[in-house]
Amino acid sequence: HVKLGGLGPDYEAIKEKVREKLKQQKEYAKQVKEHNMKSITLVQRLPTKPQVVSSVARQKALEYAKKIPRPKTLMRRQSDEEVKVERVLPQTLNGGSLPLIASLETLQSRHEKEKQVVAAFRSLHIL
């Protein structure tokens, strides 16, 4: 049976190809599902022993963690040092303290640098 006079697509042949693809997909999906069901039943039977071992390992780890002394945090040390430095500042004749002025200048320079960085970010429309 030859069909003459048509330049467009052959819809009947396309439908047949689509049906064949769908049939193959369904068959593959059925095979995968069966394989997964078999593997799941195998996995469900096995893991009784490893769970017991892992809980024992967890208990050992928890006991070990209780025995280790906790490290001291750095934030507390820094604040303590800053308090000590402020108490022991040498006084000048005018009553002001020199290290505070130096730290103020460094903070101001840092502030200016950070302002420039923020301005650069704003020019790039990041902030």
Q: How confident is the model at residue 8 (pLDDT cuts 50, 70, 90)?
A: confident
Mean pLDDT across the stretch 73-84?
A: 54
pLDDT tens, position by position, 33-52? 999 988 887 766 655 555 55
Tell which residue, 18, 74, 106, has the closest CA to residue 9.
Answer: 18
Q: Kindly list the domain boundaries of the chain, sorted by start residue.
A: 9-47
Chain mean pLDDT for the chain: 77
Q: Which amino acid is at 64?
A: Y
Q: What is the pTM of this model?
A: 0.29
pLDDT in the model for residue 23? 97
- Phi, psi (deg, nearest 5) at residue 16: -65, -40
Mean pLDDT across the stretch 99-123?
A: 84
What is the full DSSP assignment across the chain?
----S--S--HHHHHHHHHHHHHHHHHHHHHHHHHHHHHHHHHHHSTHHHHHHHHHHHHHHHHHHHHSPPPPPHHHHHHHHHHHHHHTPPB-TTS-BHHHHHHHHHHHHHHHHHHHHHHHHHHTT--
